[in-house]
Amino acid sequence: MKKRFSIRKLLVIGFLTLPAFAACYPILFLLAGSLMGRDELKANLSPVLSGGTGFIRWSLLPAYPTLREWVRLLLDTPEAFVMFWNSVKMTLAILAGQLLVGVPAAWGFAKYRFPGKKIFFTVYIILMMMPFQVLMLSEYLVLDGMRLLDHPLSVILPAVFSTFPVFIMYRFFCGVPDAIIESAKIDGAGHLKVFLHVGLPIGSAGVISALVLGFLEYWNLIEQPLAFLKDKSLWPMSLFLPNIDLSRAGLAFAASVSMLIPAFFVFLGGQDYLEQGIMAGAVKE
């Protein structure tokens, strides 16, 4: 019995390890590339980057590890710093705006009754399902009329009014018991106090989940800056490498890893809240 159980356990571990390694391999690929020298990268990637023939060769352990490309990125590439801080400012501004707009909207949809509530929420769901490519022209015309093109606000404002975080937080706020709200009102709490002292503490996991997902999305913006920002000095870090050639391959790997580091720590810190969000979405009352 123990032998059969151990074999089954080994099979399960093996089946889980293979997909996990496949998911982690691109990150290991980037990390190894950032530590390779130019000669090694040239030998490995020349069939792809120089239009040659044959197959690329790759090793997760560089033959001669070096930090030269990291030094080049951090000390000899000032535009990388500008773009990195552009990403930080855009992402934080978007998340702050979503807190101010999305949290009260989600609470209103979850706990208040008003005419047209179902219609408005249906519109929210429809807008959430539409990709950026569908809304790009209308957003461009509106931003052009407001004279916000080629300004960071052209990327920030549309994202602030995104419907996705409202939907995420709405599901959590629906789980706030009405009995607790009524008890708070009996004790003399107004609408604002109920929202701040009852709704937010109980629904905090939903708010943090929305912030984590929002960070992971807006940290990697590509289409919006390309469409609305012509000045490259305003571009985020995600557009630092529009063209990769052989001479900048190592720099590309180092910049890619540097982009992953903030997202990794944000995900690590919000992982428990994301798990709570998945469980809350799966449980039906």
Tell me the whole-structure pTM to 2 decimals: 0.83
The reply to whether 136 falls in a domain is: yes
Highest mean pLDDT among 4-8, 21-25, 95-99, 272-276: 95-99
Whether 35 maps to a domain, the answer reads no
Percent of the chain past pLDDT 70, that is, above it, reads 90
Residue 284: the pLDDT is 44
pLDDT of 93 above 90: yes
Lowest-confidence pick of 4-13, 43-52, 209-218, 246-255 = 43-52
The alpha carbon of residue 123 and the mean position of all alpha carbons in its chain are separated, in whole angstroms, by: 24
Q: Is residue 125 part of a domain?
A: yes
User: Residue 169 sits in which domain range?
Assistant: 82-242+254-282
Per-residue pLDDT for 50 more than 80? no
Q: What angle do CA 31, 223, 207 make, to 5 degrees?
A: 80
How many domains does the chain fold into?
A: 1
Calculate the average pLDDT of the chain. 84
CATH number (domain holding residue 105):
1.10.3720.10
Task: Say if residue 1's pLDDT is above 70.
Answer: no
96-141 pLDDT, tens per residue?
999 999 999 999 888 888 888 888 888 888 888 888 888 888 889 9
Residue 59 lies in a domain: no
Is 156 inside a domain boundary? yes
51 in a structural domain: no
Measure the CA–CA gap between 112 and 104, rounded to whole angstroms: 11
Q: pLDDT band for 240, please (50, 70, 90 cuts).
A: confident
pLDDT score of 233 more than 50: yes
Selection from 6-10, 81-85, 129-133, 279-283 with the highest mean pLDDT: 81-85
Torsion angle defined by CA atoms of residues 269, 272, 275 and 279, in that order, rounded to the nearest 10 degrees? -150
* Comparison of pLDDT for 87 and 128, the residue scoring more: 87
- Is 32 within the bounds of a domain? no
Q: Is residue 200 part of a domain?
A: yes
Tokens of 236: 């985020």
Q: Give the model's pLDDT for residue 75.
A: 85
Amino acid at 103: V
